[in-house]
């Protein structure tokens, strides 16, 4: 059992916290004491991608502030309804990289598996906001199919679990999936990409730690945090527990207008991550997905920010600035 020091309440377990997600726009406005003028457009904007935020994430926001960097990431806005040239529904052409249900093979020696369709939080900038999530709850047979695909494709040495969010999956299913995957002799590494350790760090429970310790696969966790204000003491102690059992800890962020598009926000994030034992990995430019253009930060501005960070931080605390382009065999680094 973990005591959440910031609020004083005790979490039974992570499922309890997951059940406390806020999905009503009105509840969000009322809790944060926001003026109600924009309530109806917020309601409209969430019709095809609903509001969803854990209570604990809400508690980290400043009341009465529409510009709070955490609130901006979850609050549905009228701007999402405008169509912007250059922004489309599937800019990464992921639909065409699907090898079997839930399996994406775009990069040479690593495959991406979508284990779960849902997330603990719905981020407004999400590049998968139009993804057919519901299609993706994998069966044991589909686990086997993925394991065979890996075995039959000898150059694959890493499986990446992405989302939805792979840590929404129960320990029981995760354990079964890992056991199935381990049968592929060429597989060396298993990487989790997840925002759950940021928003509900209690998810990394005893059972999950035991699963991680008992696999032969090298485990990597890439957390998805965009702002230092998201990270609390529970996050830090959880990351330290993972580090002790040999998990490699990295973080990736998306560069988001109003949220983290300043050298100060980014360097605070890097410092806070490092003090929890996590190294910054990628800073992604926004994928041009319909409904997200108000988060866009131009590439030239991204480069300037990285140059400022290089002047302020040791090199290992400066994330790599990248973007994703359809049909490429890796992410594209942005030259400074």
Ligand X SMILES: *Cc1c(COP(=O)(O)O)cnc(C)c1O
Where does this chain bind ligand SF4 (CB under 6 A)?
119, 121-123, 126, 128, 163, 165, 195, 224
* Residue 318 CB, nearest approach to ligand SF4 (Å): 22
Which one of ligand X, ligand SF4, none interacts with residue 126, CB within 5 to 8 A by kind? ligand SF4
3-state SS assignment for residue 93: coil
DSSP code of residue 208: H
Please list the residues that pair with 10 across neighbouring strands: 3
Contact status, residue 227 vs residue 74, Cβ threshold 8 Å? no
The alpha carbon dihedral of 104, 106, 107, 109 has a sign of positive
Q: 60 or 224, CB closer to ligand SF4?
A: 224
| Binding residue (CB under 6 A) for ligand X from 29, 31, 107, 274 | 107
Distance CA 61, CA 282 (A): 25
* Residue 129 CB, nearest approach to ligand SF4 (Å): 7
In this structure, what token pair is assigned to residue 131?
Answer: 């993804």
Q: 252 or 296, CB closer to ligand X?
A: 252
- What counts of helices (H) and strands (E) characterise the chain? 12, 12
Q: For residue 177, what is the enclosing H or E element?
A: helix 171-181
| Binding residue (CB under 6 A) for ligand X from 106, 128, 195, 323 | 106
* Residue 131 CB, nearest approach to ligand SF4 (Å): 8
DSSP code of residue 53: B
Contact status, residue 233 vs residue 5, Cβ threshold 8 Å? yes
* Residue 230 CB, nearest approach to ligand SF4 (Å): 12
DSSP code of residue 287: P
| Binding residue (CB under 6 A) for ligand X from 4, 43, 77, 110 | 110
Q: Is 317 in the site for ligand X (CB under 6 A)?
A: no
Which runs of consecutive H residues, i.e. helices, occur in 202-247? Answer: 206-214, 233-244
Q: 73 or 180, CB closer to ligand SF4?
A: 73
Q: Is 112 in the site for ligand X (CB under 6 A)?
A: yes
| Binding residue (CB under 6 A) for ligand X from 213, 330, 333, 336 | 330
Which one of ligand X, ligand SF4, none interacts with residue 139, CB within 5 to 8 A by kind? none
Which one of ligand X, ligand SF4, none interacts with residue 331, CB within 5 to 8 A by kind? ligand X
3-state SS assignment for residue 210: helix
Which runs of consecutive H residues, i.e. helices, occur in the chain? Answer: 14-18, 25-31, 39-45, 55-58, 71-74, 140-151, 171-181, 196-199, 206-214, 233-244, 263-275, 299-312
| Binding residue (CB under 6 A) for ligand X from 160, 255, 313, 318 | 160
- Sequence-distant (6+) residues with CB within 8 A of 307 are 336
3-state SS assignment for residue 106: strand
Q: 126 or 161, CB closer to ligand SF4?
A: 126
* Residue 45 CB, nearest approach to ligand SF4 (Å): 15
Contact status, residue 123 vs residue 73, Cβ threshold 8 Å? yes
Which one of ligand X, ligand SF4, none interacts with residue 104, CB within 5 to 8 A by kind? ligand X
Q: Is 115 in the site for ligand X (CB under 6 A)?
A: no
Q: 112 or 318, CB closer to ligand X?
A: 112
Which one of ligand SF4, ligand X, none interacts with residue 262, CB within 5 to 8 A by kind? none
Interface with ligand X (CB under 6 A), residue total 8
Distance CA 203, CA 114 (A): 18
Binding residues for ligand X, per CB under 6 A? 104, 106-107, 110, 112, 160, 330-331
């Amino acid at each position: 059992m973990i005591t959440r020091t910031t609020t004083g309440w005790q979490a039974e377990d992570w499922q309890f916290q997951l059940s406390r997600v806020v999905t009503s726009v009105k509840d969000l406005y009322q809790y944060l004491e926001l003026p109600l003028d924009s309530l109806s457009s917020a309601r409209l904007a969430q019709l095809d991608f609903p509001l969803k935020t854990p209570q604990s994430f809400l508690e980290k926001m400043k009341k009465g502030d529409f510009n709070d960097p955490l609130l901006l990431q979850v609050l549905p806005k009228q701007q999402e309804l405008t169509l912007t040239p250059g922004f489309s529904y599937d800019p990464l052409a992921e639909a065409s990289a699907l090898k079997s249900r839930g399996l994406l093979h775009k990069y040479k020696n690593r495959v991406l598996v979508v284990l779960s369709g849902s997330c603990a939080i719905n981020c407004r900038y999400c590049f998968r906001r139009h993804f057919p999530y519901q299609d993706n709850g994998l069966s044991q047979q589909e686990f086997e199919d993925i394991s065979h695909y890996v075995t039959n494709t000898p150059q694959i040495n890493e499986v990446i679990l992405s989302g939805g969010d792979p840590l929404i999956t129960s320990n029981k299913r995760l354990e079964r999936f890992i056991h199935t995957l381990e049968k592929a002799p060429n597989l060396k590494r298993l990487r989790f990409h997840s925002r759950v350790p940021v928003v509900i760090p209690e998810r990394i429970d005893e059972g999950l730690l035991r699963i991680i310790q008992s696999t032969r696969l090298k485990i990597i966790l890439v957390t998805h945090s965009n702002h230092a204000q998201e990270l609390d003491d529970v996050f830090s102690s959880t990351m330290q527990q993972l580090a002790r059992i040999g998990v490699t800890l990295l973080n990736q962020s998306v560069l988001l207008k109003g949220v983290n598009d300043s050298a100060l926000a980014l360097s605070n994030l890097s410092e806070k991550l490092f003090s929890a034992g996590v190294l910054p990995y990628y800073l992604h430019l926004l994928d041009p997905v319909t409904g997200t253009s108000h988060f866009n930060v131009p590439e030239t501005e991204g480069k300037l920010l990285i140059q400022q960070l290089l002047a302020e931080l040791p090199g290992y605390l400066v994330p790599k600035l990248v973007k994703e382009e359809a049909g490429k065999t890796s992410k594209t680094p942005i030259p400074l």
